[in-house]
Homo-oligomer: A and B are copies of this chain.
Amino acid sequence: MLTVSLRHALPGFGLDVQFEAPPGVTVLFGRSGTGKTTVIQAVAGLLRPDQGRVALDSELLFDTTQRHWLPPHKRRMGYVFQEGRLFPHLTVRQNLAFGQWFAPRDAKRESLDRVVELLGIGPLLQRRPGLLSGGEKQRVALGRALLSAPRMILADEPLSALDEARKAEILPYFERLRDEIGIPMLYVSHSAAEVARLATTVVVLQDGKVQRQGTAAEVLGDTAVMPAGVRAAGALLEARVASHHNDGLTELDAGGVLLFLPQIAKAVGSVVRVRISAHEVILSRQPPEGLSALNILPGTIEHVRTGGGPGAMVSLQTPAGRVLARVTRRSAQALGLEAGVECFAVVKTVSIAPEDIGGGG
């Protein structure tokens, strides 16, 4: 576990954060300029904060009261920089190998070939970074960090320069890092989908302070804090893989409710989590029939929240867990949606995006 407590003043900007990052992925979420990179830099040892203490498990990285300071090269943090920072005088291959040169002999290592293949950078190995495209640079930077046998990954928006298809390919790799290798990560992201898929814990920063910290489910379900606004709100359900069907669908069991999703490459019995965006849920008072949507969750309305806008956020308790639905105020009135009312949540199978389905973290 990483415990972070920092206080640092920059001209025109003050940082004051405390949070704990339990094993798994902790996503730092927040608007541009709220101090995400600054926090990561302090953890990596590239910034010496005015006051604070950072510890990884039992090891103290620094503590200003004890005047303890571990220099960055002893911290073994795999830092993926927001701007790449590839070494211009080395080839891509040498950049990738750079961290390996200094890694302790006995550290667990990823194999170069595997990482190269995953990131699709095989054809670039002999090039110099100056000749790479934006996305190529970022992929190499990611590979370099992964190959340095780090004890922890610090990833500063690692995917933002990548196209959707590439993102979809790389995200599972981060999941595997989290689940199989069990390497802790501090991950900066703007994308609710990435948060939902990767985050064990979410720390929301605003103006240099922690605005909210909690599990991914808690934070994503809280419309008050989601900095990306209501569209990022949604529920996270845990489900077990029940069976795989011939027509390419996977059947999940979520607290007794059956859900159908596009094929998930997980063994029967394994636990996955599914993010259901609030704006993609349709509510119905009667069990709907003759619809192309395959997933119907019965439930009881916990509460209906309305704001100044045309929308209403309906929170529904279902056997699968809490589901959020964002509907118009008009519909909420027309259907008589209010606390205690029973109704059905309709979710299309294909509206659950692949990046919204992840292994349970």
CB pair B263–A310 under 8 Å, yes or no, is: yes
A321 on the B face (CB < 8 A): no
CB pair A37–B134 under 8 Å, yes or no, is: yes
Q: How far is the CB of A177 from chain B (nearest CB, A)?
A: 21
Chain B residues positioned under 8 Å from A232 (CB to CB)? 164
Chain B residues positioned under 8 Å from A284 (CB to CB)? 290-292
- A164 contact from B127, B131, B190, B330, Cβ within 8 A: B190
A33-B133 contact, Cβ under 8 Å, with A285-B290, A294-B330? yes
Q: How far is the CB of A300 from chain B (nearest CB, A)?
A: 16
16 contacting pairs across A/B (C-beta < 8 A): A11-B131, A164-B229, A164-B232, A165-B228, A168-B229, A248-B310, A248-B311, A262-B328, A263-B309, A263-B310, A279-B353, A282-B282, A282-B293, A283-B292, A292-B337, A310-B349
A50 on the B face (CB < 8 A): no
A327 on the B face (CB < 8 A): yes
A282-B164 contact, Cβ under 8 Å, with A294-B331, A309-B262? no
Q: Which residues of A274-292 are within 8 A (CB) of B?
A: 279-280, 282-286, 288, 290-292
A164-B309 contact, Cβ under 8 Å, with A284-B292, A292-B331, A329-B248? no
CA distance A325 to B350 in the complex (A): 10
Copies of the polypeptide in the assembly: 2
Q: Which of A19-27, A154-162, A265-273 contacts B (4 or more CB under 8 A)?
A: A154-162
Chain B residues positioned under 8 Å from A309 (CB to CB)? 248, 262-263
A139 on the B face (CB < 8 A): yes
CB pair B290–A286 under 8 Å, yes or no, is: yes
A247 on the B face (CB < 8 A): yes
CB pair A32–B166 under 8 Å, yes or no, is: yes
A260 on the B face (CB < 8 A): yes
Most chain B beta-carbon neighbours within 10 Å: one of A82, A285, A309, A351: A351
1/0 contact string of A123-159 vs chain B (CB within 8 Å): 1000100011111100100000000000000001100
